[in-house]
Structure 1
């Protein structure tokens, strides 16, 4: 059976949640992200703030200069995840096939011909039940649904039918096409291609010569063709956390305490997702912005904080070079189902695993700061 594809995107999600929960913020510029006096970046901002040129991933220091009277708020990811789950529960009432893209974005498949009617119902339900704005794009494939959603923003609906492509899509600049980043845009400009229509009319064989197999994909996308299916279960390839220090750090022990905290966060996420991993990777960024990653594949897969930290600690000490350090991160990959344990391994790690689950339960009930490893108790900001 053919389907209509919907792309549902919560508008300025983090900022919208803050404005919803704090009436005094409504109508004001709200910027959510890192601390303005440190090296944080903007996670998202309200549409009021965007009028001043604020955008995601912008350094907070720059955002403060552009909009000094804005409301600056830290990221409350636990709360945003709870609200996201409520929104996705609404989506599930209207569509059996859902592909989550991120915390605030998802593709839905509904019976052909019912896309716009379903989109209206979803938008009304999200606004009525959760008081949040959502923009929805509707089309016959994911590419056009995404482009329709971008044109619908903020807080509206837009449908692009295949026959609309020449009038609606082709006049747009090539950077608006999925898969076209700054480098690809520059290459296209060099060959005289500035609009999606010009790309659609360009000889496909010549695009393949210039861009390789991606050239064929570009040509298809420019003509509104996209054969990607809805992926109801997106396979997780890795779980990671990293932190950028407010100031360059010279104390090796302070970095190790940060790695311990990151290991706890990664372990918690693995256990929540019932996953274990065999490969632990440490990311290290130095004060000159040079960055290295070093990995170690373990004999057995792990999800315990201690095992993750042990591997990360050894990798850091073996590769940390000379201080100062600017950023560290931990990633666990080579994942597998963590629902089952080999009995012999379970016996060896039983105490630590039980402790991890107890701590997980306490944090879920009372917040992530209710309990910390002893090494973190006297750990203040750098």
Structure 2
């Protein structure tokens, strides 16, 4: 573990106490640029240089998951309704989310990161913090970018600094497909002139509240009396705002996070009236959840189903089991029963499957052993040949019916 300077604040009898500990090291934030779109452009060379929008087909319901930088020039952004994205960029390539493929590529990218840093905190499928010894951050970032580009053909932006906050802001400055280093002494020149909204952790409401008292830049926030911020926002938030504006961040790299649940859900392109079609989707989701569960070396004692109707009313129902499971069949069996019992009347808009109360080991029944052995054999085939290499017969029949419609 590297040592870093760490300032901790707390209140004792209305007196602000500071405890200072020292730490050191460089922090990197690696962010795969427009990841989903970049993977699609990698797999389909004909899409390169074109605006690519991931999230669904024109005319379908949903939002933009991500888009290429070519599409962003038209004003398209993540989380934008797909209808609006079509209006802004009607000639774009519109594609559904292929999460299995993105996870596969993400795993290969993180395997590259593993070669350069012992401490890695996975933020999301396309973003991670890496801790490296002090002074080697810039060179390590160059090597990571070269390796990811050479071995996987993907762009990755990297921000380098002394803590997570500044590494995040440096990464934003590095995009797209670049690297940027922000040292603590660079704060007045690089960070302070920015509007307060650019400071990680400040949302629209906090921004408006700060603007009303004349605080519009990070520099103004850094120099604003800390006690006044505490009066306005409370001790925790007030101290955090003042510290971050001055480039201080005590958060550590969390190399291992306890996994509390694993889930997958699907929003249907159109409302679904056919219960069998929903059950087929639940079977696919149970398979995805089971695959992730087994790859983490875990088993689950609770299965939860999420059901959303066309009027947006949503229910979740759970069932806890006497023995932990990891097989696709066992997860689907419970999910199916929960759906059939609680689904109400069609149409349905969304369904999801989640498992929780996770264990690392549990004695299996004979049925579970068979189910999980089959699931593990399927996992090996998926790992080697891709997620779509093998599917249950009912899923294939469902796909054939869709093609004929």
What TM-score do the two structures reach when normalised by structure 2?
A: 0.84
Q: State the partner residue of 2:88.
A: 66
Q: CA deviation at 1:365?
A: 4.3
Alpha carbons of structure 1 residues 126 and 69: separation in structure 2 relative to 1, 3 Å: same
Q: CA deviation at 1:148?
A: 0.5
Pick which of 122-131 and 233-242 moved more. Answer: 122-131
Q: State the partner residue of 1:16.
A: 38
Alpha carbons of structure 1 residues 19 and 351: separation in structure 2 relative to 1, 3 Å: closer
Q: Identify the match of residue 297 of structure 1 among 302, 320, 326.
A: 320
Q: State the partner residue of 2:369.
A: 350
Q: State the partner residue of 2:174.
A: 152
Residue 167 in structure 1 maps to residue 189 in structure 2: yes
Q: CA deviation at 1:6?
A: 0.9
Three-state SS of the structure 2 residue aligned to 1:244 is strand
Residue 376 in structure 1 maps to residue 395 in structure 2: yes
Q: State the partner residue of 1:281.
A: 304
Q: CA deviation at 1:377?
A: 4.2
Whether the aligned pair in 1 keeps the contact of 2:323 and 2:362 (CA below 8 Å) is no
Q: State the partner residue of 2:242.
A: 219
Q: State the partner residue of 1:83.
A: 105
Aligned partners of 2:135 and 2:118: how far apart in 1? 16
Q: CA deviation at 1:183?
A: 4.0
Aligned partners of 1:369 and 1:123: how far apart in 2? 29
Q: State the partner residue of 2:14.
A: none
Q: CA deviation at 1:193?
A: 3.8
Whether the aligned pair in 1 keeps the contact of 2:324 and 2:362 (CA below 8 Å) is no
Alpha carbons of structure 1 residues 334 and 198: separation in structure 2 relative to 1, 3 Å: farther
Q: State the partner residue of 1:236.
A: 259
What TM-score do the two structures reach when normalised by structure 1?
A: 0.88
Whether the aligned pair in 1 keeps the contact of 2:271 and 2:310 (CA below 8 Å) is yes
Structure 1 unmatched runs, 5+: none
Q: CA deviation at 1:234?
A: 2.8
Aligned partners of 2:233 and 2:128: how far apart in 1? 29
Q: CA RMSD in A?
A: 2.6
Alpha carbons of structure 1 residues 166 and 40: separation in structure 2 relative to 1, 3 Å: same
Alpha carbons of structure 1 residues 319 and 67: separation in structure 2 relative to 1, 3 Å: same
Q: CA deviation at 1:316?
A: 2.7
Aligned partners of 1:259 and 1:27: how far apart in 2? 36
Q: State the partner residue of 1:49.
A: 71
Q: Identify the match of residue 378 of structure 2 among 339, 359, 377.
A: 359
Structure 2 unmatched runs, 5+: 3-23
Aligned partners of 1:184 and 1:291: how far apart in 2? 30
Aligned partners of 1:270 and 1:375: how far apart in 2? 22
Q: State the partner residue of 1:138.
A: 160
Three-state SS of the structure 2 residue aligned to 1:42 is coil
Pick which of 207-216 and 244-253 moved more. Answer: 207-216
